[in-house]
Amino acid sequence: MSERLPAARDAGELVEVVAGADGSLLDIVDHLLNQGVVLTGEVVLGLADIDLIYLRLSALLCAADRILPRAGEGGEES
Amino acid sequence: MLRVYAVVRAGAGEPVEKGASGEMLRLVACGEIAAIVGEGADVSLSPEALRRHDETVRRLALELDPLLPARFGETAPDDAALVRALAPRAAELAEALARVAGCVQMTLRVFGESAEPPPSVLPEILDEPLTGPGTRYLLQRRQEAERARSLPEIAELRAALAPLLRAERVERHAAGRLLATAYDLVARGDAPRYAELVRSAAARADGPRVALSGPWPPYAFAPEVRP
- pLDDT value, residue B27: 95
Burial of B23-61, coded b for 16+ CB within 10 Å and e otherwise, reads bebbbbbbeebbbbbbeebebebeeebbeebbbbbbbbb
- Per residue in B161-213, pLDDT (tens digit) is 999 999 999 988 876 778 889 999 999 999 999 999 998 888 875 767 888 99
- pLDDT value, residue B24: 92
Which chain A residue is nearest to residue B221, measuring alpha carbons? Answer: A36
- Provide the shortest C-alpha distance from residue B16 to chain A (in Å): 10
Q: Could you give the CA distance from residue A4 to residue B15 in angstroms, rounded to a whole number?
A: 9
ipTM: 0.76
Give per-10-residue mean pLDDT for chain B (227 aa): 92 83 93 92 76 92 93 88 92 95 94 64 58 76 72 89 95 80 95 93 78 93 71
B115 residue type, one letter: A
* CB contact residues (below 8 A), chain A span 3-42, against chain B: 3-5, 8-9, 13-14, 17-18, 21-25, 27-33, 35-41
Rg, C-alpha atoms of chain A: 17
Q: What predicted TM-score, i.e. pTM, was given to this entire model?
A: 0.74
Q: Is B173 on the interface with A (CB under 8 A)?
A: yes
Under 8 Å between Cβ of B151 and B117: no
Q: Backbone phi, then psi, for A32, in 5-degree steps?
A: -80, -30
Q: Could you give the CA distance from residue B51 to residue B57 in angstroms, rounded to a whole number?
A: 10
Q: Is B111 on the interface with A (CB under 8 A)?
A: no
- pLDDT value, residue A70: 46
Point out the residue among B35, B62, B216 whose CB comes nearest to the CB of A31: B216
- Per residue in B12-26, pLDDT (tens digit) is 778 888 898 889 999
Parallel, antiparallel, or unpaired for β A44-46 and A60-62? antiparallel
What are the distances in angstroms from CA B79 to CA B17, B76, B83, B97, B122? Answer: 20, 7, 6, 21, 52
Which chain A residue is nearest to residue B183, measuring alpha carbons? Answer: A31
- pLDDT value, residue B117: 56
* CB contact residues (below 8 A), chain B span 201-220, against chain A: 211-216, 219-220
Enter the DSSP assignment of A2: P
Q: Is A75 on the interface with B (CB under 8 A)?
A: no
- pLDDT value, residue B44: 75
Best mutation target among B103, B170, B173, B213 (most A Cβ atoms within 10 Å) is B213
Cβ distance A2 to B8 less than 8 Å, yes or no, reads yes
Q: Is B53 on the interface with A (CB under 8 A)?
A: yes
Q: Which residues pair with B186 in a beta bridge?
A: B104, B165
Cβ distance B63 to A63 less than 8 Å, yes or no, reads no
User: How many helices, marked H, and strands, marked E, lie in chain A?
Assistant: 2, 3
Widest pairwise Cα distance in chain B: 67
Best mutation target among B57, B83, B219, B224 (most A Cβ atoms within 10 Å) is B219
Cβ distance B74 to A18 less than 8 Å, yes or no, reads no
